Copies of this chain bind each other. A is one copy, B any other.
Amino acid sequence: MKKILAELLTIGDEILYGQIVDTNSQWMSVELDKIGVKVIRKTTVGDEEQEILTAFAEAEKRADVILITGGLGPTSDDMTKPLLAKYFNCVLDINEEALAEVTEFFKSRGRELTELNRQQAALPKACEKITNPVGTAPGMWFNKGEKVFMSMPGVPHEMKMMMTEQVLPRLTKKYQLPVIHHKVIRTIGVGESFLAEKIADWENSLPSHLKLAYLPSLGEVKLRLTGFGHSLSELERETSEYTEKLKEPAGEYIYGYGETPIEVVIGNTLREKKLTLSIAESCTGGFLSHLMTSVPGSSDYFLGAMIPYAYEIKMRQLGVKPETLEKFGAVSEPTIIEMANIVRAKFNTDIGVATSGIAGPGGATPDKPVGTVWIAYSDKHHTVTKKLQLSKDRMINIRLASMAVLNLIRLSIPE
């Protein structure tokens, strides 16, 4: 079977000059890898006609699939579309379907179509239009012999939706791709190197056509098991078998599989058990509630939160006892216990959780350095607390503390 090779071509001065970090190409690499398309090169060029045309021609020589992002905006520095028309030797013409879509896009937002917006519906004659359900710039798919050029907007969520819903399925249909099966095992509450030691024997027992990758991110480590073969059902059976065996050394850390993040897993558990949740978050400043409410349908179990950022609000609005705050401070076990219990009682929920800590960079004391965080879980059966010693970085502390609370809920929720 011939390997299908891809080149990712990013167009835009803003990437070239470093005004934004290109995260698109990493995401695209991962998705292409999953369907068995091999990325052989990533190229970034600026908004310069000759550079772009040369990059098209070079990529065509090297790769079967050329995925282009960027340069599709309505303004004059966006040149991808006219240059694709030039490269494919055709004219730009208003695509009636695209025009209807962009008109509807603006109409649904109560806005009139400007001439600039209208021009977003002009597409090279040689392409097939790919609908952009979340933006105004359509994608363009060009067949050239056995090769494909595909142009997408650089806005990450527009590109991702277009890739997921249309480009990846089309590529899978067009080419005969190898059989690859991925299984992602999600762990929380354990660091990468500690986990690696724990599962070393299991990892060494994997056959050579099953490859393991560690994908650490803030607060969790995903393990990706990739099988290469000819039979999907055989690969599925094998990866399931090894995944099952992993429970012995690492079961306590595994919270789920696949693309489902911890906040969704927790949400599903709460919904199934008909439990409700409230939050009193201080140092996490809203991020923990944001994680919970980023899940569609979270109003089924998340009733609300209080963010008692200031000392007075902790006392007067939430109702932490002044004696507790005075004697132990806001960042202490007695305070965090009261916070979790009070929010649970006030908001009349089954579970209450709380955070209080020094996110940094300011606010540290000799015995409470930056990164000191107390978290608590409370339900009618018990109250559980945990002290965390995190990093010196404010945003990392906010994220790690929020993830730690989600893990605390996972471990403390009644069976």
Q: List the interface of chain A (C-beta within 8 A of B).
A: 10, 13-23, 25-30, 33, 39-48, 51, 55, 58, 73-75, 77, 108-110, 114, 116-117, 134, 155, 157, 184, 192-194, 196-197, 212-216, 222, 224, 226, 279, 281, 285-294, 296-299, 302-310, 312-313, 317, 346-348, 359-363, 389-396, 398
B317 touches A309 (CB 8 A): no
Docked pose: A30 CA to B226 CA in angstroms:
34
- Contacts A28-B18, A44-B42, A212-B77 hold; do A317 and B304 have CB atoms under 8 A apart? yes
In-complex Cβ contact of A17 among B30, B157, B288, B391 (8 A): B30
A394 touches B296 (CB 8 A): yes
CB of A359, distance to nearest CB on chain B (Å): 8
B313 touches A308 (CB 8 A): no
CB of A90, distance to nearest CB on chain B (Å): 25
B77 touches A214 (CB 8 A): yes
Copies in the complex: 2
Beyond the given A294-B394, A298-B309, A304-B307, please list 8 additional residue pairs across the A-B interface where CB-CB is below 8 A. Answer: A17-B33, A18-B28, A22-B22, A25-B44, A42-B44, A43-B43, A74-B196, A293-B309
A116 touches B197 (CB 8 A): yes
Q: Which residues of B contact A293 (CB under 8 A)?
A: 285-287, 307, 309, 359, 398
Docked pose: A310 CA to B292 CA in angstroms:
14
Q: Which residues of B contact A307 (CB under 8 A)?
A: 279, 286, 289, 293, 304-307
A44 touches B41 (CB 8 A): yes
Docked pose: A23 CA to B22 CA in angstroms:
8
Docked pose: A193 CA to B106 CA in angstroms:
12
Docked pose: A288 CA to B40 CA in angstroms:
41
Q: Which of A18, A29, A33 has the most CB of B within 10 A?
A: A18
B313 touches A309 (CB 8 A): no
Q: Which residues of B contact A297 (CB under 8 A)?
A: 362
Across the two chains, which residue of chain B brings its CB closest to A304?
Answer: B313
Q: Which residues of B contact A17 (CB under 8 A)?
A: 29-30, 33, 39, 226
A21 touches B19 (CB 8 A): no
Across the two chains, which residue of chain B brings its CB closest to A78?
Answer: B214
B215 touches A396 (CB 8 A): no
Docked pose: A404 CA to B262 CA in angstroms:
29
B294 touches A303 (CB 8 A): no
CB of A120, distance to nearest CB on chain B (Å): 8
B16 touches A393 (CB 8 A): no
CB of A353, distance to nearest CB on chain B (Å): 13
B389 touches A110 (CB 8 A): yes
A–B complex contacts, Cβ < 8 Å, 7 sampled: A16-B40, A17-B30, A42-B43, A114-B197, A157-B396, A293-B398, A296-B362
CB of A380, distance to nearest CB on chain B (Å): 19
CB of A145, distance to nearest CB on chain B (Å): 22
